[in-house]
Chain A
Amino acid sequence: MRTQPFLSQKQTVQRYSPPSRAARTISTLRKAGIGSIRRSSPPRGPAPPSGQRLKASNSFRSLYDQEQTNPRRSSIMFPQRAQPPVGPRDEGGMGKRWVRWMHKQGLKRFVVLSSVLAAVWVKWAVGLGSYSGQGTPPMFGDYEAQRHWLELTIHLPVRQWYTYDLQYWGLDYPPLTAYVSWLCGIVGSWIDPSWFALASSRGIETPGSKIYMRATVLAFDTLIYVPALIFFARAWQGTRSIRTQELVLLVLLFHPALALIDFGHFQYNSVMLGLTLLAINFFSTGHDLLGAVCFVLSLGFKQMALYYAPAIGSYLLGKCLYLGSTKGSQLFIRLALVTSATFLVLFLPFLPPFAPLSAIRDPIARIFPFARGLFEDKVANFWCASDVLVKWRRWASRGILVQLSAGLTALGFLPAAAGLISAGWKLRKRAQTAQETDKEKEDAATPMLPLLPYALLTSSMSFFLFSFQVHEKTILLPLLPMTLILAGAASAPGTHTSAYNMGMLVNNVAVFSMWPLLKRDGLSLQYVALTVFWNHLLGYNPFQKPRTFLQYLSIAVYGACAILHLLELMITPPSRLPDIYPVLNVLISTPVFVFAWLWSIKRGVEVGWALGGIGASSSRHADHKISASSTVANGPSSTGIKENSDSGIPAGAKPGTRRSLGFADSKRRAPFRTGSVEAS
């Protein structure tokens, strides 16, 4: 609340109760759809002292508040108050209506089950279509690559996995993929040996083998990714209503880009993403070691999980710092041990005593293919987009390009890593003054947890934009944190304009950026159906009353996408420029991804500020006085950083209580805490 920051500490304590009631009223009003009323309500505290002090201590906050409350809307909204507010049925998308209907019909116990079943149906239905490289001998595509790995792992000794006939889809993923392939291959050849017969099964395209391959993807998706999503909804959205959690799950389950790539194009990305998501979930519940194991497994499944590594590493480092010298170094050593042990187990067959030390070179050389070019195909990243103007590969040698891309990537994820580590450092200092016991700190979730999704987004997006050898499918990695953020915001699109619109834009553009690939795979119909379905599920309508820059940008981008699709449909590209449409696609998509990357840095900085920013230490004192006097019954949370539901800053709640993710407003909690956080 804006008026609160200007109260003195004493006033804060004394006046605590009345403002909280007022704030509750306001929150009720906001729920009723009158988002702007507080702007017009008269200040309840003393009049804000104008001038220097306000600017010095609150300039950033007030800017941020303005962004959240969106003054332009308030001026539009207010005259409309005479009209009835938009009915609850119209608000939100189909997902929200469906969840509400299920609850009303007394079927709420089955919401999760039936949404998972429906998602299984949709994924399988996508799988009815063709896959990458179907009917295109002699090399076929990604499907044949995966199938070939099933074939070679069951027939060859482990040592030969990374060396056998590398020209024909040699294995180039880390060992966990190989082990999973081996398992699938064993089961598959038990059903029908001809599907995975060595050499003779190359390019096999029988209906049976296709169904089996599709079934393995579905099985791993359902066993790893879907539970991770349910876990996410419970762990990260724990403070929010069951309906919101269900909606979050729904949004994530029908994610079009992943379904198109995994079940249409054919890959096992959901295993890698699911393991990373499990890691994040374990971090949020304080099980850092389990989380680290999951993340190493994710890395061991696909090296692309490395895109997340800076964020996850900095988070864990930040947590070690936050815990202080004793506990922190203990955790650090444990993490180091667990991580190395997991890696060792994963690579065990390639290490002594099972193999000579030189054997480890085979998988490593295959996993990091620097011998390949800067980029293949057309991919919506910095290198490919700028290649239109600057012919990088002519201009610089590969060695320089590798260094350049590595440098730019590191620069790209630096803000995220620095933010997490510095937040951990700052919070440690504050925690020391508060004399919290170490035990308490260790059990509680780390306060910088809300930074993590943004850091993941920054880091993976920077890898996608700047690193070497990126594929268009790799956009799935930045999409995961983006969609996690979006899912939290989707339950109340009106109050989370920025995250909601950004998430939708990036997701839709990501699917669009994969259009050349999907078209080649014969998945254009699925592309349309899934995108429309998902947007309708979220009730997304970008063309409805644009207000912010982001919304205008979205309209422009969608317009460009639509025009490009129409052009492609009607005009065949001139023979001089056969790649004109993919290039235009890249030129439309890349700016959006760059924008998302910048946005994630901005949000990360904002959340970081709110966590350890100006005036925070004095707010702690105010809090302690309140809890000590215990005059107000304001719920269990009285230590640590309070949830600022107005600006979307999460609670570092007490041990054992469920936490809500930072990017999402907690609708259930009245924002009466805000004042004390801001008091200075």
Chain B
Amino acid sequence: MSKVVQEKSDGAQASTPDEKHDEPTPPSPTSWLGLDPTARDILVVSTCLKLLLFPAYRSTDFEVHRNWLAITHSLPISKWYYDTTSEWTLDYPPFFAYFEKLLSIPAYLIDPKIVNLQNLNYDSWSVIAYQRTTVILTELVLGAAVLRFIRGAPNPTTQRIISASLFLHPGFLIIDHIHFQYNGFMFGILLWSILMARNDNKLASGFLFAVLLNFKHIYMYLAPAYFIYLLRSFCLSPSGALLPSRFISLANAVIIAFLASLGPFLLMGQLPQLLSRLFPFTRGLNHAYWAPNVWALVTAADRVLLRLARIGQIGAISLNEAGLASTSRGLVGDTVFAVLPTVKPIHTFAITIAFQVIYLTKLWKTPTYKSFLTALTLCGYTSFMFGWHVHEKAILLVLVPLSLLATENHAYFRTFMLASIAGVYSLFPLLFTPAESLIKLVYSVLWAFFVFGPLHKRVYEFPRSLPFVVIDFLEKLYMAGFPLLHLFMTTLPLVTRSGPLATSATCVASDNLSCPETGPSAGTTKTGTSALEFLPLMMTSVYCAIGLVWAFLRLSVLYMKQH
């Protein structure tokens, strides 16, 4: 933590230049950590709010992480990736395991039962308080990173709002502080890496990204952009000649990171086992709740076509029997289309690569920081749009780097706004309990209010031609649809309610990483009722997918047209 504190004080110095009113203000003796009042306010407020969320709903990810504390504490390192005491086996890369090992030491001192491997589903106050506290503390890495972004930004006042918006992002609140994960910490590392790239310290940037990859491998989605950018702008001279010393130093840095992480397992010959844990290719196209991407739209189209075919409107369509079964099973498990051709992993892979190649070519030609940032966002976005078994939480991979681009101009801002609204709303089904519905809604609305309001004022441009006016109008219409959608979502269960609220608290173990929070037990209900039960989720997913796909197209066009 001392490192974080050090970083924070650096960041605070950075934030002084934009304060025009009191530039010569001497640091007041009472200021702690050297933070300026605004940063302090945000830190205090967010910490207090997060403390209040301690008793909130927590998903099985909470137990997953508790179990990892127990695994890393009570087992020797050689057994970490073999243990199957709990169904929530360790499936993050080794740095995360080391991180859990580190956390398990104070945990043992606080309450030895936390790290007892056999003590499954332990949920006493001590473990809740401890694990939630670690999330708050490790998120300070994110806070320090966004604070550092303010110094050296072209417009520090605007960057201040963006930084605050990232630190207070409803995505982190929902996923980390209620649902339970450590995304704030890991996106903190990502932002540090991006910051290093901005500050022209590309070696550090590459190293930090390699470290990040060894914390959580989902960041591989972003790796192509890093690879191309570092290769082109760091390892090659502008004329295209290889700079061997730079290349070797970067390669060494990356290799060191990977060796530190994988080395022990390499020596023990456990690499295949580790990789099989990290990449289980046994899942379906869609997650239990469809992530709002292209496949959600395709699946929805398939369902609609099936309806039409059943009614008899479209006669000459051969129905896939497996697909029929798939639809009647609700949303859990593998998705097989009834009408449309079935998608295989290789297809999604090919499409993702094809899109990424386009952006990376552009990046190769213009290896600037801004271009890198956009390409990075688009890499993550492409993976989210076309990936196999994408989880809705992965939208943060898009929203976080996109936030840094928000004030480029009005077009970028509008993209950011659309993606943020749709992306955050698509996270809402993660918290299905009624008690948290007010929490997530009011928080997100307030966040949107405080972020979009000031930023919009700064970048607003009037649409220049008729098509743009039409697009502008349609986008506004789309965004205005969210309150209606939410109203529909909240009233529908009340109208078609069959039992008391909050029934689906049981969790189905169809997913290794996390529980399909939204899925009531699969295959138990009849098609009719299950269709009604799933209708709100399906609608959320499809409606958000429309916005996210559109924002994806917008960003792609913006990037490709940029000079």
State the A residues within 8 Å of B (CB): 84, 86-90, 94, 97-98, 105-107, 110, 114, 117-118, 120-122, 124-130, 192, 194, 206-208, 210-211, 214, 525-526, 528-530, 532-533, 536, 541, 543-544
Q: Shortest beta-carbon distance, A632 to chain B, in Å?
A: 35
Is B17 positioned at the interface, with any CB of A under 8 Å from its CB?
no
- Complex A-B: 29 CB contacts under 8 Å: A88-B21, A88-B22, A89-B38, A90-B22, A94-B44, A106-B453, A106-B454, A106-B457, A107-B450, A114-B446, A114-B449, A114-B450, A120-B438, A122-B52, A124-B439, A124-B442, A125-B53, A126-B52, A128-B52, A128-B55, A128-B56, A128-B439, A211-B501, A525-B52, A525-B54, A526-B51, A526-B52, A532-B48, A544-B30
Is B443 positioned at the interface, with any CB of A under 8 Å from its CB?
yes
Main secondary structure of the interface of A (DSSP, over half): helix
Q: When the two chains form the complex, which single residue of A117, A125, A528 contacts B49, counting CB atoms closer than 8 Å?
A: A125
Q: When the two chains form the complex, which single residue of A208, A525, A541 contacts B51, counting CB atoms closer than 8 Å?
A: A525
- Kindly report which residue of chain B lies nearest to residue A129, judged by CB atoms: B55
Residues of B within 8 A of A88 (CB): 21-22
Q: Known contacts A118-B446, A120-B442, A211-B435; is A89 also within 8 Å of B21 by CB?
A: yes
Residues of B within 8 A of A97 (CB): 37-38, 41
Q: Shortest beta-carbon distance, B128 to chain A, in Å?
A: 10
- Kindly report which residue of chain B lies nearest to residue A544, judged by CB atoms: B30
**8 Å CB interface, B89-128 against A:** none
Residues of A within 8 A of B49 (CB): 121-122, 125, 529, 533
Cα distance A124–B434 when bound, in Å? Answer: 12
Cα distance A89–B28 when bound, in Å? Answer: 12
Q: Shortest beta-carbon distance, A120 to chain B, in Å?
A: 6
Q: When the two chains form the complex, which single residue of B129, B433, B439, B502 contacts A121, counting CB atoms closer than 8 Å?
A: B439
Cα distance A199–B501 when bound, in Å? Answer: 22
Residues of A within 8 A of B26 (CB): 84
Cross-chain contact B25 with A94 (CB below 8 angstroms) = no
Q: When the two chains form the complex, which single residue of A107, A214, A530 contacts B453, counting CB atoms closer than 8 Å?
A: A107
Cross-chain contact B446 with A117 (CB below 8 angstroms) = yes
Cα distance A528–B52 when bound, in Å? Answer: 9
Residues of A within 8 A of B445 (CB): 117
Cross-chain contact B433 with A124 (CB below 8 angstroms) = no
Cross-chain contact B435 with A128 (CB below 8 angstroms) = yes
Cα distance A107–B456 when bound, in Å? Answer: 12
Given contact pairs A105-B457, A120-B438, A127-B435, a sample of 17 additional A-B residue pairs in the complex whose CB atoms are under 8 Å apart: A84-B25, A87-B22, A88-B21, A94-B45, A106-B457, A117-B446, A121-B446, A124-B442, A125-B53, A126-B52, A130-B55, A208-B500, A214-B435, A525-B52, A525-B54, A533-B49, A543-B30
Cα distance A528–B49 when bound, in Å? Answer: 11
Residues of A within 8 A of B41 (CB): 94, 97-98, 536
Q: Shortest beta-carbon distance, B501 to chain A, in Å?
A: 5
What mask results when residues 20 to 33 of chain B are scored 1 for a CB within 8 Å of chain A, else 0? 01101110101000
Cα distance A120–B438 when bound, in Å? Answer: 9
Residues of B within 8 A of A536 (CB): 41, 44-45, 48
Cross-chain contact B449 with A207 (CB below 8 angstroms) = no
Residues of B within 8 A of A98 (CB): 41
Nearest first, the 5 A-B pairs at minimum CB distance are A87-B22, A125-B52, A529-B51, A533-B48, A105-B454
Q: Known contacts A128-B52, A128-B435, A533-B48; is A206 also within 8 Å of B500 by CB?
A: yes
Cα distance A126–B501 when bound, in Å? Answer: 21
Q: Shortest beta-carbon distance, B32 to chain A, in Å?
A: 11
Residues of B within 8 A of A543 (CB): 30
Cα distance A121–B48 when bound, in Å? Answer: 12
Cross-chain contact B434 with A105 (CB below 8 angstroms) = no
- Kindly report which residue of chain B lies nearest to residue A534, judged by CB atoms: B48
Cross-chain contact A208 with B48 (CB below 8 angstroms) = no
Q: Shortest beta-carbon distance, B448 to chain A, in Å?
A: 11
Cα distance A94–B37 when bound, in Å? Answer: 8
Is B472 positioned at the interface, with any CB of A under 8 Å from its CB?
no
Is B19 positioned at the interface, with any CB of A under 8 Å from its CB?
yes
Cross-chain contact A207 with B435 (CB below 8 angstroms) = yes
Residues of B within 8 A of A86 (CB): 28
Q: When the two chains form the complex, which single residue of A125, A127, A130, A532 contacts B44, counting CB atoms closer than 8 Å?
A: A532
- Kindly report which residue of chain A lies nearest to residue B38, judged by CB atoms: A97
How many chain-B residues does the 8 Å CB contact rule pick out?
42
Cα distance A361–B518 when bound, in Å? Answer: 54
Q: Shortest beta-carbon distance, B156 to chain A, in Å?
A: 15
Residues of A within 8 A of B446 (CB): 114, 117-118, 121
Cα distance A532–B48 when bound, in Å? Answer: 7
Cα distance A399–B28 when bound, in Å? Answer: 59
Cα distance A127–B434 when bound, in Å? Answer: 12
Residues of A within 8 A of B36 (CB): 89
**B54, B56, B442, B445: most-surrounded residue (chain A CB, <10 A):** B442
Cα distance A543–B28 when bound, in Å? Answer: 14
Residues of A within 8 A of B449 (CB): 107, 110, 114
Residues of A within 8 A of B52 (CB): 122, 125-126, 128-129, 525-526, 529-530
- Kindly report which residue of chain A lies nearest to residue B29, judged by CB atoms: A544
What mask results when residues 433 to 465 of chain B are scored 1 for a CB within 8 Å of chain A, else 0? 111101100110110011001100100000000
Residues of B within 8 A of A214 (CB): 435
Q: Shortest beta-carbon distance, B130 to chain A, in Å?
A: 13
Residues of A within 8 A of B38 (CB): 89, 97
- Kindly report which residue of chain A lies nearest to residue B499, judged by CB atoms: A192
Q: Shortest beta-carbon distance, B170 to chain A, in Å?
A: 12
Q: Known contacts A107-B454, A121-B439; is A87 also within 8 Å of B25 by CB?
A: yes
Cα distance A529–B48 when bound, in Å? Answer: 5
What mask results when residues 511 to 526 of chain B are scored 1 for a CB within 8 Å of chain A, else 0? 0000000000000000
Q: Known contacts A110-B449, A525-B52; is A533 also within 8 Å of B45 by CB?
A: yes
- Kindly report which residue of chain A lies nearest to residue B42, judged by CB atoms: A94
Residues of B within 8 A of A120 (CB): 438, 442
Residues of A within 8 A of B438 (CB): 120-121, 124
Cα distance A89–B457 when bound, in Å? Answer: 23
Cα distance A385–B299 when bound, in Å? Answer: 70
Cross-chain contact A90 with B44 (CB below 8 angstroms) = no
Cα distance A208–B434 when bound, in Å? Answer: 8
Cα distance A122–B38 when bound, in Å? Answer: 20
Cross-chain contact B501 with A530 (CB below 8 angstroms) = no
Cross-chain contact B502 with A207 (CB below 8 angstroms) = yes
Cα distance A460–B25 when bound, in Å? Answer: 44
**A84, A125, A128, A544: most-surrounded residue (chain B CB, <10 A):** A125
- Kindly report which residue of chain A lies nearest to residue B442, judged by CB atoms: A121
Residues of B within 8 A of A106 (CB): 453-454, 457
Residues of A within 8 A of B450 (CB): 107, 114
Residues of A within 8 A of B24 (CB): 84
Residues of A within 8 A of B501 (CB): 192, 207-208, 211
Cross-chain contact A528 with B51 (CB below 8 angstroms) = yes
Residues of B within 8 A of A114 (CB): 446, 449-450
Cα distance A107–B457 when bound, in Å? Answer: 10
Residues of A within 8 A of B439 (CB): 121, 124-125, 128
Cα distance A193–B507 when bound, in Å? Answer: 27
Q: Shortest beta-carbon distance, B485 to chain A, in Å?
A: 19
Cα distance A207–B500 when bound, in Å? Answer: 10
Cα distance A117–B28 when bound, in Å? Answer: 33
Q: Shortest beta-carbon distance, B25 to chain A, in Å?
A: 5
Cross-chain contact A208 with B502 (CB below 8 angstroms) = yes
- Kindly report which residue of chain B lies nearest to residue A107, judged by CB atoms: B453
Residues of A within 8 A of B25 (CB): 84, 87, 89-90
Cα distance A16–B377 when bound, in Å? Answer: 69
**A84, A105, A130: most-surrounded residue (chain B CB, <10 A):** A105
- Kindly report which residue of chain B lies nearest to residue A104, judged by CB atoms: B454
Cα distance A514–B26 when bound, in Å? Answer: 40
Cα distance A376–B446 when bound, in Å? Answer: 43
Cα distance A348–B332 when bound, in Å? Answer: 59
Cα distance A532–B52 when bound, in Å? Answer: 12
Q: Shortest beta-carbon distance, A372 to chain B, in Å?
A: 33
- Kindly report which residue of chain B lies nearest to residue A84, judged by CB atoms: B24
Cα distance A84–B28 when bound, in Å? Answer: 12
Cα distance A383–B24 when bound, in Å? Answer: 55
